[in-house]
Amino acid sequence: MEASTTAGKDRLGPEAEVVPAVTLTADAAEKIRALLEEDGRTDLKLRVYVTGGGCAGFQYNFAFDEKREEDDFAVEWGGVTVVIDPRSLPFLAGAQIRYEEDLSGARFVVVNPNAASTCSCGSSFSTCSQSEG
């Protein structure tokens, strides 16, 4: 799946190579598109951000957003635009969002190479620097 990326113009020079911070699996992109189409809001973007909280220290948050701030990082996967604020970007670099369905239900799962540990429910995580301190 091809991705296109853009970032805040004052953070990158003209020759900078942008590596997607977050990737979506085909199933995740399909489910997000379906949710947006269900509400008739295909113009919305998926905002992914990290806040302090949860049992492991940080937690993932998802919201549909009408706008993209100038300094947001943006990537498009399978017709879904994902936007990430500059504070959350270091926590999410290289992460993959999956959509999984099984006997226990359906959910979005974040596979994050920056997470040193996650809580049992998978919605919060700690980083290497956090777990060392």
CA distance 93 to 108: 17
Range of the domain at 12: 3-132
The structure tokens listed for 35 are: 């949710």
CA distance 40 to 29: 16
Radius of gyration of the chain (CA): 15
CA distance 14 to 88: 23
Cα separation of the two ends of the chain:
38
pLDDT in tens, 54-99: 766 788 899 999 999 999 999 998 999 999 999 999 889 899 999 9
Number of domains in the chain: 1
* CATH at residue 73: 2.60.300.12
Q: Of 14, 2, 26, 3, whose CA–CA distance to 74 is shortest?
A: 3
pLDDT in tens, 99-117: 999 998 999 988 888 777 6
